[in-house]
Amino acid sequence: MEEQSGKSEAYLDTKVEVLADGPMLVHGSVIVQTPDGKEEIKQKTTAFCRCGESANKPYCDGTHVKIGFKG
């Protein structure tokens, strides 16, 4: 992977993957801060909703399949 902004590859331990017609996956450790000020630490892989219809926002709950989300 190409070094960017002078930061070492050693710091690039999180990967974002956008799935076709589905969620955005974040692989790695992240802190998720919600509008109510709560914070959650997520490990491994976290799926974030892109379709806007999840009942568990900001996370994907699989609703994108039911509604036929394209994007």
The distance of closest approach from Cβ of residue 6 to ligand FES in the complex, given in angstroms and rounded to an integer, is 34
Largest CA distance in the chain: 43
Neighbours of 67 (CB within 10 A): 10
Candidate list 63, 68, 70, 71; residue touching ligand FES; CB under 6 A: 63
Of 5-13, 27-35, 37-45, 62-70: span binding ligand FES (CB under 6 A): 62-70
Comparing CB distances to ligand FES, the nearer of 12 and 65 is 65
Q: Tell how far CA 4 is from the center of its chain.
A: 21
